[in-house]
């Protein structure tokens, strides 16, 4: 694959041939990773206007998502309206901001067209899960067809799921081929590879799966579907970021990161941003390279920002998602 120009100022990851020697001998010190993750909260004390600025940035990096069995066009339209204007007007005025939008809206493939209509002219991209989300237990040709369908409907980003069994038995060549085929099916749409880290058993497997996904051309690597028993955690995220850093050092490509599932509060939004800043630097605090897959935290972020502006906490019911 040839590198293509990126609207974000850096070359899109085109992948490399499978190179198991980049990851086969990796060792992950789990207690050390846990200690490092636990220490992050104390490394940066974010208060007052600094905290407000980081919370606004979290909104800019959020994939506002609905993946419910009873989703409808109307529900998606309401969610898209929230993506266009995630903060109440009086909060924007109090913060001195003209407008804020979320990083994307994420829906099932059959609702992509509804989201595209609702977001027309906003600049907010539509993302779609695909490939038999959340388990991925479908024949590969059907998973690829689902990607193509979502892209044809207007999805600019595709969140694919990998076959966890390939990781658990160490079949890296099959995993690489599967992800590379998905990347090709995405075409110009950016691909986020969901590793479902809660199903991968060890942090070593998390590192290895991260590296294979990037070698196969993933634009982002993502922790979870949000449907596993254990979703995004800071130690898992730390291991994935170390893989991102190692891949970037070897290839020069910047690959994005998306934690998803289990994050519900403004405090969580701050913790993951601190992790990004400490491990990868300021470039990874933009929606081009960082997304938060946690719609439920938006209500708490809006509540915290209202407190900053007015000095009072509003009822959570005043900040419904849609």
As a whole number, mean pLDDT of residues 200-219 equals: 98
- Tell me, which fold does domain 46-316 have in CATH? TIM Barrel (3.20.20)
Report whether pLDDT(2) > 50.
no
Record the pTM.
0.94
Contact 12, 211 (CB under 8 A): no
Q: pLDDT category, 125, cuts 50, 70, 90? A: very high
Q: pLDDT tens digit string along 174-191?
A: 999 999 999 999 999 999
Give SS3 for 104: strand
Q: 3-state secondary structure string, 196-240?
A: CHHHCCCHHHHHHHHHHHHHCCCCEEECCCCCCCCCCCHHHHHHH
Domain boundaries, the chain: 46-316
Helix H, strand E, coil C: the string for 270-310 is HHHHHHHHHHHCHHHHCCCCECEECCCHHHHHHHHHHHHHH
**b/e per residue, 163-186, with b = 16+ CB within 10 A?**
bbebbeeeebeebbebbbbbbebb
Residue 213 CA from chain centroid, whole number? 14
Do 236 and 204 form a contact (C-beta atoms < 8 A)? no
Residue 63 pairs with which residues in a beta bridge? 104
- Band of residue 21 on the pLDDT scale cut at 50, 70, 90: very high
Is it the case that residue 318 has pLDDT exceeding 70?
no
Query: Can you tell me the mean pLDDT for 93-108?
Result: 97
Catalytic residue positions? 159, 222, 258
> Is the bond preceding 12 in cis, omega lying within 30 degrees of 0?
no
pLDDT bracket for residue 314 (50, 70, 90): confident
Residue 238: per-residue pLDDT:
97
Contact 115/98 with Cβ under 8 angstroms?
no
Handedness of CA 201, 226, 262, 115 (dihedral sign): positive
The strand pairing partners of 292, in sequence order, are 62
Q: Express each pLDDT in 30-82 by its tens digit.
A: 999 999 988 876 666 788 999 999 999 999 999 999 999 999 999 999 999 99
Question: How many residues appear in the chain?
Answer: 322
Q: Mean pLDDT over all residues of the chain?
A: 93
Is residue 162 scored above 90 in pLDDT? yes
CB proximity list for 142: less than 8 A, separation 6 or greater: 132
3-class DSSP state of 46:
coil
Sign of CA pseudo-dihedral 164, 254, 268, 132: negative
Q: How does pLDDT run across 271-303, given as a tens digit for each residue?
A: 999 999 999 999 999 999 999 998 889 999 999
Euclidean distance between CA atoms 56 and 301, whole angstroms: 8
| Least trusted range by pLDDT, from 4-18, 58-72, 198-212 | 4-18
């Amino acid at each position: 694959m040839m590198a293509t120009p990126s609207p974000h100022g850096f070359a899109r990851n085109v992948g490399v041939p499978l190179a198991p020697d980049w990851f086969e001998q990796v060792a992950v010190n789990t207690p050390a990773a846990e200690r490092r993750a636990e220490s992050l909260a104390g490394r940066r004390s974010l208060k007052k206007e600094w905290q407000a600025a980081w919370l606004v940035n979290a909104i800019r990096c959020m994939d506002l998502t609905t993946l419910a069995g009873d989703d409808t066009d109307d529900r998606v339209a309401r969610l898209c309206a929230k993506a266009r204007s995630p903060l109440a007007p009086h909060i924007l005025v109090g913060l001195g901001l003209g407008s804020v939008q979320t990083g994307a809206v994420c829906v099932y493939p059959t609702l992509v067209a509804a989201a595209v209509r609702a977001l027309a002219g906003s600049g907010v991209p539509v993302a779609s899960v695909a490939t038999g989300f959340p388990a991925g237990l479908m024949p590969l040709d059907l998973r690829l067809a689902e990607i193509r369908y979502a892209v044809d409907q207007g999805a600019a980003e595709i969140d694919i799921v990998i076959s966890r069994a390939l990781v658990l038995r160490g079949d890296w060549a099959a995993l690489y081929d599967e992800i590379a085929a998905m990347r090709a099916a995405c075409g110009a749409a950016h691909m986020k590879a969901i590793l479902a880290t809660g199903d991968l058993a060890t942090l070593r497997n998390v590192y290895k799966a991260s590296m294979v996904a990037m070698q196969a051309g993933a634009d982002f690597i993502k922790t979870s579907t949000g449907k596993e028993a254990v979703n995004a955690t800071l130690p898992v995220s730390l291991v994935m970021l170390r893989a991102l850093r190692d891949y970037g050092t070897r290839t020069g490509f910047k690959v994005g990161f998306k934690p998803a599932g289990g994050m519900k509060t403004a405090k969580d939004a701050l913790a993951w941003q601190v992790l990004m800043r400490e491990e990868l630097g300021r470039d990874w605090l933009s929606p081009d390279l960082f997304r938060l897959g946690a719609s439920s935290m938006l209500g708490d972020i809006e509540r915290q920002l209202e407190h900053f502006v007015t000095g009072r906490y509003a009822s959570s019911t005043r900040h419904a998602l849609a």
